[in-house]
Amino acid sequence: MTPQAYAQQKAAASGSSFYYAFLFLPPPRRAAITAFYDYCREIDDVVDEARDPSVAQLKLHWWRQQVARCFDAAHGAPEHPALQALQPHLAAYGVEASHLLQIIDGCQMDLEQSRYLDYPGLQRYCHLVAGVVGEVAARIFGQHEAQTTAYAHRLGLALQLTNIIRDVGEDALRGRIYLPINELQRFEVKAHELLKRGQGAEPGFEPRFQALLRFQIERALGVYEEALALLPAADRRAQKPGLMMASIYRTLLHQIAADPQQVLTQRVRLTPLRKFWLAWKVQALGRL
């Protein structure tokens, strides 16, 4: 299997909403973003699948060495098919080593930190694991205006906040709480109630948790609006894949808002047909 086929297979098998946004890109850009997406998934999986943090640290160190190989032939060629698929596109789209390394930095935070005291602290994490991803994606999609980078960072934050809201229950199973601690305190939701996914919670947990989630959802929806306001008109056509993601993820947020409690016990999803419809609507009509 070629590195390009490997990346394509991984992206298609993931069932991710991102895959639907990639379908409408011309082949060279689609190949580049698919390879980049695969790289991000590989790094994320190191942490999500790790049972021993020390082993995960070693794996992330190995990935740093692989990134170095992509940008300096003196280190040798990258060994992993994800980077072998991505390397030919790096120069064409202005992807730098710092971009790829910051994504590793963000995932390493998951090995060192399982709580965030406040929203500014959470934003720093989101920038590394999603804002930088948005910046690279915007370059691959076709960026002409410098202001588009600010849009990409903001959209990355919105998408990551959506992931955090959707994955409250799954993250609890791993002992992680991304919702800021001071906001849990504000809504009187205890950390142990989240970690147990509401089981055996103190009286009144459900309305407290729903109020907390609706606050998170409203903030995330606001960040989407901020991102869209930052996108220059000259880049709007090229950045349609990002707008597709915004449409899909905003729809997901509204679905969660109808019953916030469900995120504790299941992953809320849109059907593949609905994702495709939302992506097509942006492609064909140019609106979310």
| Token representation of residue 234 | 């000259």
Per-residue model confidence (pLDDT) at position 244: 94
pLDDT value at residue 21? 80
**Phi/psi of residue 179, each to 5°?**
-60, 130
In Å, what is the CA distance from 71 to each residue of 42, 43, 100, 108?
Answer: 19, 18, 11, 21
User: Is the pLDDT score of 285 beyond 90?
Assistant: no
Instruction: Please give the pLDDT value at position 14.
Output: 65
Position 15 scores a pLDDT of 62
Please determine, for residue 5, whether its predicted confidence score (pLDDT) is greater than 80.
Answer: no
The three-point CA angle 11-246-227 to 5° equals 125
Dump pLDDT digits (tens) for 248-283: 999 999 999 999 999 999 999 999 899 989 988 998
Question: What token pair was written down for 129?
Answer: 């694991």
More confidently predicted of 4 and 120: 120
Residue 202 has pLDDT above 90, yes or no: no
Q: Are 102 and 108 in contact (CB under 8 A)?
A: no
Q: Measured between alpha carbons, how far is 277 from 174 in angstroms, rounded to an integer?
A: 33
User: Residues 49-90: pLDDT tens digits?
Assistant: 878 888 999 999 999 999 999 998 777 789 999 999 999 999
* Residue 24: predicted pLDDT: 85
Average pLDDT over residues 214-229: 98
The predicted-structure confidence for 9-35, as pLDDT tens digits, reads as follows: 777 666 677 777 888 899 999 999 999
- Model pLDDT for residues 121-177, shown as the tens digit of each residue: 999 999 999 999 999 999 999 999 999 999 999 999 999 999 999 999 999 999 999
